[in-house]
A = this chain, B = another copy of it.
């Protein structure tokens, strides 16, 4: 029956404890840092020989927060306002027959620390703890497709909100986390259906960030506090 059982080779550590706020594709927020920590069995330095020559890598990972109970042929992509249905295979929706994700991230380095062998990466769109099933080098000669057309997704590739972050709240955050947070907020973390000015709370890097969006154009931060 060609079933394939995948076992995690690693887990990623990121600043996202929950799905809300995670960019909707990899590479959208290049300042986001992550650490791919290998499982004991796969923490073999030799298995990475030559990988440092590549600037980018593919991660194949599991949509671990998406419960699979049957599947739906169509989904509502958030960037289409949540009211237009597209075929699940025409989207990168997490809720798909086989809940496997694909992300290209920048490889910043290979580390051997007290947690074992790990890769430092940036630009990942993954929740903390996501299981990683495969790592492949990004091969520009095969993976870059010239003149590819991106369908309906092309129309929102430049979508971004203007972000207002008052200094009093910016100061609460460690300075090195600020560029990534601004990137996340510009991406508009609101759910597809909610396009009103209600208040939202985002958890990032151990901080609770509250905000609202004015006229679907400007996102204003109304608070930043350390989570307990």
Q: Which of B51, B88, B92 contacts A139 (CB 8 A)?
A: B92
Which residues, 3 to 47 on A, are CB-close (under 8 Å) to B?
3-9, 11, 25-28, 42, 44, 46-47
Residues on B with C-beta less than 8 A from A193 are none
Instruction: Pick the residue among B47, B99, B139 that contacts A25 (CB under 8 A).
Output: B139
A184-220 CB mask vs B (1 if < 8 Å, else 0) is: 0000000000000000000000000000000000000
Interface residues of A in 145-163 (CB under 8 A from B): 145, 147-154, 157
Q: Quick one: which of A48, A73, A89, A141 has the most chain B CB within 10 A?
A: A89
A-side interface mostly: mixed
B148 touches A55 (CB 8 A): yes
Task: Give chain B residues whose Cβ lies under 8 Å from the Cβ of A1.
Answer: 7-8
A152 contacts across to B, CB distance below 8 A: 50, 53
A175 at the interface (CB under 8 A from B): no
Kindly list chain B residues whose C-beta atoms are within 8 Å of the C-beta of A48: 87, 89-90
- Please give, as numbers and ranges, the residues of chain B lying within 8 Å of A134 by CB-CB distance: 89, 96-98, 100
Q: Which of B25, B136, B140 contacts A89 (CB 8 A)?
A: B136
Min CB–CB distance A66 → chain B (angstroms): 11
Q: Can you tell how many copies of this chain the complex includes? A: 2
User: Which of A1, A11, A92, A136 is packed against the most chain B CB atoms within 10 Å?
Assistant: A136
Chain A residues with a Cβ under 8 A of chain B: 1-9, 11, 25-28, 42, 44, 46-51, 53-56, 58, 60, 62, 64, 73-74, 85-92, 96-100, 102, 104, 131, 133-145, 147-154, 157
Query: Are B98 and A149 touching (Cβ within 8 A)?
Result: no
Min CB distance A43 to B, Å, is: 10
Interfacial chain B residues near A137, Cβ < 8 Å: 89-92, 150-151, 153
Chain B residues whose CB sits within 8 angstroms of the CB of A140 once the complex forms: 145, 148-150, 154, 157
